[in-house]
Each structure stands twice: as structure tokens, then as C-alpha cells.
Structure 1
Amino acid sequence: MSTPPVSIEKGADLTDAASAAGIERLRALADDLTRAYAPNTQRAWRADWRTWVAFCVQTGAPTWPATVEGLRAFLEDAIARGRKRATLNRYLSTLSSMHRLADLPWPLDSQAGRLMWQGVRRQVDERQTQATGLTIDRLDAVIDSLDVRELRAARDAALLATAYDTMARASELVRLEIPDVSGEPDDSARVLIRRSKTDQEGKGALLYLSPASWQRVQHWIAVAGLTEGPLFRAVPRAKVPKAAGALTERDVSRIFKARVGAAGLDVDKISAHSTRVGPAQDLLAEGYGLPEIQQQGRWKNPQMVVRYGERIQSGRSAMARFRGSPRPKRSGA
């Protein structure tokens, strides 16, 4: 049997029968939870739960089930430590999921809980820090700076190009296998994303790869001597470097930041998400509609596309068109 997605650490409050029964219910559900939720989701649950339990152990707040006052103190402590609104939302989402899975009452379902959260969240801005977009001009500048005769540079050029064209998440990029990319008669290629954050059931998505990007991928495969297994792999620093195991999600962010910096561009807020933000901005700038971009990026709703493109959209607003267009002077009376 699998272990439950969270555990009660030593020192946590677990004094009543309902709490103990909740843990038993989670243990009974452990196998199904492991199959139903992505590893990243389970890791986030565990991290958030450890943060919550550590706070409860330190302050004496009830752990399981939580109380309105305990949650208030936890959230206000998180705000004092500089946590953003999105992090608070994630904490509550995790705790809510654990309570509901264990059939325990969730305090924010009560009127008192809703009022508490409404008051607390007014203390923090909802606006999130956005990753800097790797738009096509920036992407080309970074790739052009690479000497693809060198193995690591060949990999990074292929990785950057694939990430941009597919708008794939880092978790999707590192899971790609060589057979997941296949050529087409027009010299483009198709990339099969077998499973993703928004496709937990593995229906899959087939995404376009431009001829130029496909050439970069083929070059990387050839110089690395790959025939099967992970597409994007680590390249150890050795006298005779060769491809090793698959990259991690953290590697993707590190590579993007390093290559952008080496190309002489600003690395502030560059991350693995930059190749999702940048293409969305490029497509908006070229006049593609929100539904098309949402489908390409495989977002569940257009909210993220709107936020990524707000600077572009603000430049098309009524005031931008009014103030940005020359107009004849009005004759005086």
C-alpha cells in the first residue's frame, strides 16, 4: 500500500477520534490518490502540509481538523514572512483537499471562515510576479549565440526551440521521449505530450514543431548519438562529454537563465515558464485570438493569456488609439 499524501509529524495535535479517523481514511485512499494526482501535485501537498504542521507545532494551533482562528494566525504569519497571495491560495487549497478527502469539516465553509479569509486576503495584493517572456526576437538572439557544434549547446538550442514552439511546461519537456517527436512531409514535426498538468488522464496532445526547430532537435539527437529514451538529457562536464539521464524541471529553468545571460540579455524573472509567456505575447501581438492561444498553451481558461498579454492589450486600448494617433488641431472660436 502507498503512503498517504500527507502525514502527521511528531508533536502535531491529534487528540480526538475524528482526527485519527481522518488519517485512517487518507491511508485507505493512498493508492488511489497516488494514481489520480500528478507527482508534482503530491509533492506540493507534502510541502504545504509540512509548513502547516510546523506552524501548528510551534504555536499550539490545532492541526487536524484546523480551526478558523488557527488558519487566521497561519495566514497572517505567512503574510509577515512575505508570502504572496498565490502562495496563500495554494496553502488553503492543499489544506482544504486534505480535510475533504478525510471527511473532516473545512473551516472556510463556515460564514466565520469565509469572513476571516475575505479580511485576510485584503492585506495582500492579488497581482502575481510574472516570468519574463522569451519572445521570438529574444529566443532567436539566445539560440544564435550558441555554438551548436558543442554538445551541451546543441541540446540547449533544441530545448529552447521546442519549448517555444510547443509552449510546453518544464514537466512536459523533461518527460519527452525520442519517439514522441516525429517528422512530417513538409519538414516540420509533431511533438506528442502524453500527459500534462491539465491532462491527468493522459489523453495526450499533438503539437506543432517548426522546420527550423525540428532541424535543431535532429541535430541534437545526431551529435548525442541518441536512439531511445529521454529526449533532453544531462551532459556531464567531462573530457569526453556524452548524454546521460533526463533533465529535471529545475535544470530547465537553470539552462534558460544561463543561456539568456550568456547572450547578454536581462535574466531577471527568466524561468522555464518564459517559453510559455513569450509565445503567448507574440501570438497576441500578431492578432491571434484568445481561444487559439489558450488552446495552443493548453490552459483551462483564458485568464493566464489575458494576464500575459496585458501590456500588449493596453497598447491597443481606446485611450492608446486616441492619444497615439495624430489628429487635426481644433480651430479656435
Structure 2
Amino acid sequence: MTTLDHYIHAATRDNTRESYRSAIRHFEIEWGGFLPATTDSIARYLVAHAETLAVNTLRHRLAALAQWHIDQGFPDPTKAPVVRQVLRGIQALHPAVEKRAKPLQLEHLEQVVQWLDATTSAARSASDRAAELRHARNKAILLLGFWRGFRGDELTRLQIEHVEVVPGEGMTCYFPQTKGDRTYQGTSFKAPALSRLCPVDAYLEWMAVSHLREGPAFRAVNRWGHLGETGMHTDSLAPLLRTMLAEAGIASAELYSSHSLRRGFANWATSNGWDLKTLMEYVGWKNVQSAMRYVDSADPFAKHRIERAITGASRDRAPIVTRL
């Protein structure tokens, strides 16, 4: 790889690059398409998967195919009017309700942490190094992910040398690049030290038991208690969280994902008086639409608002007295 190629490669996030490669494999290998593609083949590809893939997934596949053609110096067939019309037709005939992860409630967070504390103590007493490491790591992931509203890829990309801890005050997590950082300025996120359910204490406990000093903060632990050299894969966080919740006795654990931490914090913050601007600045959302996808209304059916109006109208209505 030349120096030029090295810098071009660095301009795209690893997650984006891998997801685009997966999309190209799907088009070529699983569907049997040919590259460079024609407008007709792109349209037929969309039609072939209209009933099985979500519209957003199809849009992502088009973006990957468009990027492949641009990178290889070919005309982009995904911008043709017929492709756009087919995509609009699929959206009209196969509308889908966006699936959202169930937000993790504060009481459930506390229940899981209590379970993790108990299992960590039991593992330590039994000299089960692997279990002790997993539970300490999972507690740090859970609390830091919740109180900072981190995405799964941010948790898995966190580097120890980019974390600064001020005991009793808080910790700063620096990311050279985040999803919304298109200019590669880097972003720092601060997490507070709390009197209970503290993400800072959980992180320091994990550092102490793991003896890690540099590299990825959160890594896989094998059956012998050995830590991996690389960071955990983002896709491993959802099953990890579901397993934790199920073993801690949380109902419907299968409805949760790594986004549940972010949504859980957003709902906790708004229900405790945080305005949307403050929440956006804290979490790092750049636009209102992104923030609103994570925030559930405290009165989703407008029941309480309507009931108050009905009750108020009844009280204001003067009683009619009939004189005989």
C-alpha cells in the first residue's frame, strides 16, 4: 500500500468499509450479480429483495454499490431514474415500522449491577479467573454505556491511552473519530463519578482486575481467563447484554440491544428534566431527528394530557340549577 493509498484508506471508518464489503459480496456472490453493474441489474437486484430486506438496508446496498463504481472509475448505475423509481415503489408497497431497541430502565440497570457484583464475588471466591474478568468487564461496559449514552462501536473502539480518570470527579474518553465527526477533529466525552452505579469506579475496577495498561479497553475473555489482543467486535455486544439481562432476571431480554443503553439514558434524562439541547450536547447528536429517535414520550398516547383537559373542562362548567 502506497502512502497515498494509506491516507485514502484512513478516510473511511472501518465499520463502514466492512459493511460495504459485505454488501458487495451479497450482490456478487449471494445474488449472482456482475460488476461493473448495469442499471437494469441494479433494479432487478432491488426487486429480488424487495420483500425480504428493509428499505434502509436496500439504500445501504445502493450506497455500497455506488461507492464501488466510483472507486473503480465506472459510471454510477445507482443514480439512474429507474433505480430511484423502483426504490420508491418498494417503499410504497412494503412499508415497514422502524424497529427500536427496548430502553433499559434505571431500576433494571441497578438489578443487573447487583447481580454482576454478586457473581463477581462468587467467581473471586471460587478462584474462577475467567468469570471474574467477564463480570468486571461487563459491569464497566454496562455502566459506561448507559451513563455516557455510548453506541456499541464507541465502547468497542475505546482505547485505554485515550481515557483520563480523575478519581471522585469523573473520566474523559477521547475518540479520534466518531460517527458524526466528518472533519476528523476528534471528540471527548466526559462521564461523571457517581455515588452509586458509578461508571468511573466500574472502569477502574476492570482496569485493576485485567491489568491492562494500553490498547483496547474492552476485550474478549476466553475460558482460561486470557484476554484477547484486539477489541471486542461490535456485534458481540447485543448478545452479551441479552445474556446479562436474562441471567439477572430481567424479562423479555431478547428485546434489548446495545442501543438499549443509549435509549435508556436518553429516556432517563428527559424524564428528569433535561431539555433536548442539553441531551444532544451531552450525547453528541448533531440534529434533532437523531435525538428524537432515541427519546420516548413520557405520555405516548397523550392520555394524561387529554384527561387533564377533560377534568378541567368539567370543573369549569357551571352547574345548572333548575328552580321549580
Is contact 1:224-1:242 (8 Å) kept? Answer: no
Is contact 1:189-1:208 (8 Å) kept? Answer: yes
Pairing partner for 1:264 from 249, 261, 285: 249
Pairing partner for 1:64 from 24, 36, 39: 36
* Pairing 1:323–2:307 present: yes
Aligned AA (2:287): N
User: What CA distance in whole angstroms lies between the structure 2 residues aligned with 1:166 and 1:279?
Assistant: 8
User: What CA distance in whole angstroms lies between the structure 2 residues aligned with 1:106 and 1:228?
Assistant: 43
Which aligned pairs between 1:167-206 and structure 2 lie closer than 5 A?
Answer: 167-184=149-166, 186-199=168-181, 201-206=183-188
* Pairing 1:248–2:233 present: yes
* Pairing 1:47–2:37 present: no
Which aligned pairs between 1:127-142 and structure 2 lie closer than 5 A?
Answer: 127-142=97-112
Q: Deviations over 1:279-313 (max 9, x none)?
A: 12222222323333233332332223212224436
| Residues 307 and 169 of structure 1: CA distance in aligned 2, closer, same or farther (over 3 Å) | closer
Structure 2 partner of 1:286: 272
Which aligned pairs between 1:80-91 and structure 2 lie closer than 5 A?
Answer: 80=51, 82-91=52-61
Which aligned pairs between 1:87-166 and structure 2 lie closer than 5 A?
Answer: 87-146=57-116, 147=118, 148-149=120-121, 150-166=132-148
User: What CA distance in whole angstroms lies between the structure 2 residues aligned with 1:254 and 1:232?
Assistant: 15
Is contact 1:280-1:308 (8 Å) kept? Answer: yes
Q: Deviations over 1:218-251 (max 9, x none)?
A: 111112223333222222223xx35443322233
Structure 2 runs not aligned, ≥5 long: 122-131
| Residues 73 and 55 of structure 1: CA distance in aligned 2, closer, same or farther (over 3 Å) | farther
| Residues 98 and 208 of structure 1: CA distance in aligned 2, closer, same or farther (over 3 Å) | same
C-alpha deviation, 1:269, in angstroms: 2.7
State the TM-score, normalized to the length of structure 1: 0.79
User: What CA distance in whole angstroms lies between the structure 1 residues aligned with 2:7 and 2:178?
Assistant: 18
Q: Deviations over 1:183-223 (max 9, x none)?
A: 23653222222322223554222212221211111111112
User: What CA distance in whole angstroms lies between the structure 1 residues aligned with 2:297 and 2:66?
Assistant: 35
SS across alignment from 1:161: helix
SS across alignment from 2:157: coil
Aligned AA (1:72): A
Is contact 2:241-2:257 (8 Å) kept? Answer: yes
State the TM-score, normalized to the length of structure 2: 0.81
Aligned AA (2:221): V
User: What CA distance in whole angstroms lies between the structure 1 residues aligned with 2:96 and 2:219?
Assistant: 37
C-alpha deviation, 1:52, in angstroms: 1.4
Percentage identity across aligned positions? Answer: 24
* Pairing 1:215–2:231 present: no
User: What CA distance in whole angstroms lies between the structure 2 residues aligned with 1:32 and 1:192?
Assistant: 21
C-alpha deviation, 1:31, in angstroms: 4.6
SS across alignment from 2:205: helix
* Pairing 1:237–2:219 present: no
Q: Deviations over 1:40-68 (max 9, x none)?
A: 111111111111123663xxx6642321x
Aligned residue pairs, count = 299
User: What CA distance in whole angstroms lies between the structure 2 residues aligned with 1:158 and 1:140?
Assistant: 13
SS across alignment from 1:189: strand
